[in-house]
Amino acid sequence: MIYADTDFFLALMKPNDWLKKNAEKILKRYEGQITTFETTFLELLMVAKKYNPDPIKLTSAVMVLMGIAEDVYLRVAYYMKEHGLNAFDAFHAAKCGGVITSSNKVYEMGGIKRIKLENPEETG
């Protein structure tokens, strides 16, 4: 397997990236052999927050390219788009399974139960 970092996906997705043609050649040549990891999704979503592409469309495109069916990445993008979470908080929200302990009040939304770190006897 060939590991692709964030630059590879940005080159494919940006309309005028100077590496776009090379990335397309690599994608075609190594189709089905390219992989990535959560770090790449995190970086891409941070870029999305800065430059405003739709995080759900961005995530979906990478998932299609990689043949990834796990919906956790779409949940991350959803939390960013619909609840305004940053990429890190969105990952925590998507991975927590519905219950999280934190002092961060951003998790008190969308069906997530927060066990308050500042007062464990209360939940949000």
Number of domains in the chain: 1
Does residue 36 form part of some domain? yes
Residue 113 forms part of a structural domain:
no
Identify whether the C-beta of residue 54 lies closer than 8 Å to the C-beta of residue 81. yes
Helix (H, G, I), strand (E, B) or coil at 99: strand
Is the pLDDT confidence value at 124 over 70?
A: no
What value does the mean pLDDT of the chain take? 89
pTM, entire model? 0.80
Above 70 in pLDDT, residue 53? Answer: yes
Residue 80 lies in a domain: yes
pLDDT value of residue 48: 80
Q: Is residue 24 situated within a structural domain?
A: yes
User: How far apart (Å, rounded) are the C-alpha atoms in residues 42 and 91?
Assistant: 8
Instruction: Domain of residue 19: give its range.
Output: 2-95
Q: Is the pLDDT reported for residue 45 higher than 80? A: yes
115 found inside a domain: no
The whole-number average pLDDT for the span 66-94 is 91
Tell me if 89 is assigned to some domain: yes
Residues in a beta bridge with 35: 3
In a domain, 103, yes or no: no
